[in-house]
Structure 1
Amino acid sequence: MIAGITTAILLATFLGGVGWAFSKKRKAEFDAAARLPLEDQSENTP
């Protein structure tokens, strides 16, 4: 019984995370994070 409840809670948490990651509201933020490694490093050095 406890194992089934735990599985259901973890499944709901996982699906919530997937929904959050693929949300259209977050697209611009994730696109900006994806470009970070490609930006010029000379701007960040003192």
Structure 2
Amino acid sequence: MPIFVTIPAVGTFVTFPIFSGPLLALALVYFLAARARTETCGDTPGLGVW
């Protein structure tokens, strides 16, 4: 999709934030939810990231 639709329509400078923004938001939601789950469960090891 980026090659055929967004790059010709808006260029590469705008295409990058269009696709990277939602991926960044999804990653932040995932890690924050995992952290909250680890804090509420107490003894659950979680992901090992924090």
Please give the TM-score of this superposition, normalised by the length of structure 1. Answer: 0.53
Structure (1/2) with the larger helix percentage: 1
Distance 1:5 1:21 in 2: 24
> CA–CA distance in 1 between the matches of 2:33 and 2:19?
21
Please state if 1:3 is matched with 2:20.
yes
Task: Tell me the percent identity.
Answer: 18
Cα distance in 2 between the residues matched to 1:9 and 1:20: 16
5+ residue gaps, structure 1, are 34-46
Query: What displacement does 1:20 show?
Result: 0.2
Bigger relative CO (Cα 8 Å, ≥ 6 apart): 2
Bigger CA radius of gyration: 1
Q: Once superposed, which parts of structure 1, at least 4 consecutive aligned residues long, lie more than 2 Å away?
A: none
Number of matched residues?
A: 28
Superposition RMSD in Å: 2.1
